[in-house]
Amino acid sequence: MALGLTLIFSILDIINFAHGEFYMLGGYVTYYAFAVFGVNYFLTLGLAVLVVGGAGVLAERVVFRHLRGKTLNAFIVSLGLLWVLQASAQLSFGVLDKSVPSAVSGIVRVFGLVISRERLVVIVTACALITALYLFLKFARTGQAMRAVAQDPDAAALQGINIEAVSALGFGVGCALAGAAGALLAPVFAVSPTMGALPVVKAFIIIIVGGMGSLPGAVLGGLLLGAVEGIGTLFMTSAAVNMLGFLVVIAILLVRPRGLLGVA
């Protein structure tokens, strides 16, 4: 989810507060396809990526394209989109949590460490997605075009890159990653219209710590926040642990204002 958020920021310079709602959309695609209609879970995962990615492209073409270069306007519009999508989900799907059955059940024990197979699938798939995104951006022609637009849109346009198409694709890929996260975590947690509220806050902490626009930074920030929260819970109250995440952000920004791996 944080990867998608930072990808969108790097290419379009948009702080997308509605990113959690694309995550929620991925959860509902999984609920209806897998839990209600019995589609294979891994096919559902692909379906969620396509549907949410498509919704992202649509959002870019209808809304965000017209706000390119107006960071503050785009920020406010993304807040509005958050409320519109959340209210639409409440009206369409109801307000109660919906449970998605586990695609894989059971637990795995490794040197005394207990983890559910369900979470193992999430970890492995997340690693595969990160690797695929890295390879796409590094070697694929379209991925290289995205990086070029992220570095200098004007220079990229002079090289013949279609900025509008690349921006739409970048927004779509970013949202598709959120959709994949929603689909992966739907069986682990439950699905609800507000399920994206907390993850998007954590995703922002992660990309600020890692460096806005840096994909390796997002991965590093995620690992750091996870470690801080996981270990912190053993010694502190839940309220203190939540505060700890923000303290880490403040401390890192004071020492390194552009984040751990961010560039000036």
Partner 1 sequence: MTPRPSLAILIVLAVALAVVGAGPAPAAEKTLAIGLLGPLSGGAASYGVELQRGAEMRADEINKAGGLKIGGDVYKIKLVAYDHKAQAADAATATNKLVFQDKVKYIIGNAVGATCNAAQTITEPNKVMFSFVCWGTANLAPEKPYSFRSMLSQWELAEPFYRWVKENHPRVKRVAVISPNDTSGKDTNTAVVKALKALAFEVTADEYYERGTKDFYPVLTKLLAQKPDMIDVAAAPAGEAGLILKQAMELGFKGAKGWTAGTNPFTIIGVAGREAAEGVWSPANINVKSEHVNSAVRKFGEAYEKRYGEVPGVIAVANFAAFDVFTQAMQRAGSVETDRVLEVLTKERFETVWGPLVIGGKETYGIDRQFLYPLVISEVREGKIVDLTQVLPAALKKK
Residue 39 Cα distances to 31, 76, 181, angstroms: 10, 37, 18
Q: Which of 43, 84, 96, 123 binds partner 1 (CB under 8 A)?
A: 96
Which 203-242 residues touch partner 1, going by CB under 8 A?
229-230, 232-234, 237-239, 241-242
Q: Which of 189, 216, 244, 260 binds partner 1 (CB under 8 A)?
A: 189
Residue 62 interacts with partner 1 (CB under 8 A)?
A: no
In 3D space, the residue among 79, 5, 6, 68 whose CA is nearest the CA of residue 261 turns out to be 6
Query: Both tokens of residue 203?
Result: 């995703």
Which 108-167 residues touch partner 1, going by CB under 8 A?
114, 116, 118-119
At closest approach, how far in Å is the CB of 258 from partner 1? 29
- Residue 16: what residue type? N
Residue with tokens 């990867």: 3
Helix %, strand %, coil % of the chain (to 5)? 75, 5, 20
- Piece in contact with partner 1 (CB under 8 A), picked from 58-66, 71-79, 91-99, 145-153: 91-99
Residue 73 interacts with partner 1 (CB under 8 A)?
A: no
In three-state secondary structure terms, 12 is helix
Query: Please, which residue, 80 or 101, has the CB nearer to partner 1?
Result: 101
Query: Both tokens of residue 31?
Result: 């609920």
Residue 95 interacts with partner 1 (CB under 8 A)?
A: yes
Query: Please, which residue, 80 or 230, has the CB nearer to partner 1?
Result: 230
CA distance 180 to 186: 10
At closest approach, how far in Å is the CB of 189 from partner 1? 4
Angle, helix 117-139 to helix 2-12, in steps of 10 degrees: 20
Name the site residues for partner 1 (rule: CB under 8 A): 90, 95-99, 101-102, 107, 114, 116, 118-119, 185, 188-190, 192-195, 197-198, 229-230, 232-234, 237-239, 241-242
